[in-house]
Amino acid sequence: MRHTRLLPRPLQLAVLAVLLLLVLGPVSYMLFASVSSDLAVASGAYLPTSVDLGAYRRIWSTVDLGTGLLNSVLVAGVVATASAFVSVGSAYVLVRFAFRGRVAILRALLALQSVPGTLLLLPVFVLFASASTAIGVQVIGTRWALALTYLTFALPFSTWVMVTYLRGLPPELDEAARIDGASSWRILTRIIVPLSWPGLIVSGIFAFLLGWNDVLFASVMTDPDTRTAAVALQVFGATQEGGAIPVYGQMMAAALVCAAPVVVLYLVFQRYLVGGLTAGGVK
């Protein structure tokens, strides 16, 4: 099969070089600044005159990065796992069963994506504060409350991702299982879920990034013991404003450390992101 090139080879290489420069330029500056002196970074130097890894040692005490990373991993991990597996069950019902209101639910899920998070910040906070007063249990400032908040935004998108993915699975797989006497729950757990790992990974990674990168809700719904890494970075950056020379090296080092888990996550699961496990499922 002949492949037609959209662009000539030299132009392709030029476009790729520009894209790499746009992506790797800021990352390389952060890396060099994290091993340079604060005075050199403040003077505008790009390449370090000497390599100093002290910033990577000091951030664990000055930024309190360890607690923030632990909270981020716990909250984002719970959100990713719950969002992926709840969404596959919801999508299975919406795709495989016909009932009144199914289209309305799908449209409502899509409409929820257009609501800005800033508009929901105050209602969510008031709701949780009222629930705390009603049940007599601390809600604001807990990790589970933050995870529940993120689920309200992650589930609609994850469900849509899984709906799109399950529509590509042949219904003959369900029919063959039902002929053998399998129930809907058995079909979901033994057939749909094993064949849906690429979709589950995509929805899970989206939910993980939502919980990992958020600052707005995390800054309101947490206290100093439960704040996430993103909030810890924000607080650390705010404390450096107005100083003589901010600790640029520590800020860049902390940002790189916080970005590393997301990069590792993508590298580990990239084959699921680009692969399809259902090829050849039905001849």
DSSP letter string, 61-91: HHT-HHHHHHHHHHHHHHHHHHHHHHHHHHH
Cβ(188)–Cβ(90) below 8 Å: no
31 and 109 within one domain: no
Number of folded domains in the chain? 2
251 and 113 in a single domain? The answer is yes
Tell me the CATH number at 173: 1.10.3720.10
pLDDT tens per residue, range 58-115 = 888 887 788 899 999 999 999 999 999 899 999 999 988 888 888 888 888 888 878 8
Average pLDDT of the chain is 84
Task: Assess whether 15 and 139 both reside in one domain.
Answer: no
Closest CA to 212 of 257, 262, 252, 260: 262
Instruction: Tell me the C-alpha to C-alpha distance, in Å, between residue 271 and each of 25, 126, 215.
Output: 26, 42, 30
Query: What is the per-residue pLDDT across 12-59, written as a single tens digit (0 to 9) for each?
Result: 888 888 988 898 888 888 899 888 887 888 888 888 888 888 888 888
Question: Are 159 and 92 in the same domain?
Answer: yes
Q: Which domain holds residue 117?
A: 61-274
Confidence of residue 278 (pLDDT cuts 50, 70, 90): very low
Q: Is 6 helix (H, G, I), strand (E, B) or coil?
A: coil
pLDDT over 70 (residue 170)? yes
Please give the angle made by the CA atoms of 269, 209 and 248, to the nearest 5 degrees.
110
How far apart are alpha carbons 113 and 107 in whole angstroms?
10
pLDDT reported for residue 150? 92
User: 119 and 100, same structural domain?
Assistant: yes
Q: Are residues 41 and 112 in the same domain?
A: no
pLDDT of 139 strictly over 70:
yes
Is residue 282 assigned to a domain? no
Give me the mean pLDDT over the 265-280 stretch: 64
Give the model's pLDDT for residue 251: 87
Q: Tell me if 1 is assigned to some domain.
A: no
Give the pLDDT band (50/70/90) at residue 283.
Answer: very low
State mean pLDDT over 175-195: 88
Helices (H), the chain: 9-34, 38-42, 54-62, 65-96, 102-112, 117-135, 143-166, 172-179, 184-187, 193-195, 197-213, 216-221, 229-239, 248-274
Q: What is the pLDDT of residue 87?
A: 92
Q: Based on the fold, state whether residues 113 and 240 are members of the same structural domain.
A: yes
Evaluate whether residue 43 is within a structural domain: yes
- Give residue 237's pLDDT: 80
Instruction: Establish if 129 belongs to a structural domain.
Output: yes
Q: Is residue 79 domain-shared with residue 167, that is, in the same domain? A: yes
Task: Provide the CB-side half-sphere exposure for 236 (13 A, CA).
Answer: 25
Q: Are residues 140 and 28 in the same domain?
A: no
pLDDT at 5: 65
User: Are the C-beta atoms of residues 257 and 172 closer than 8 Å to each other?
Assistant: no
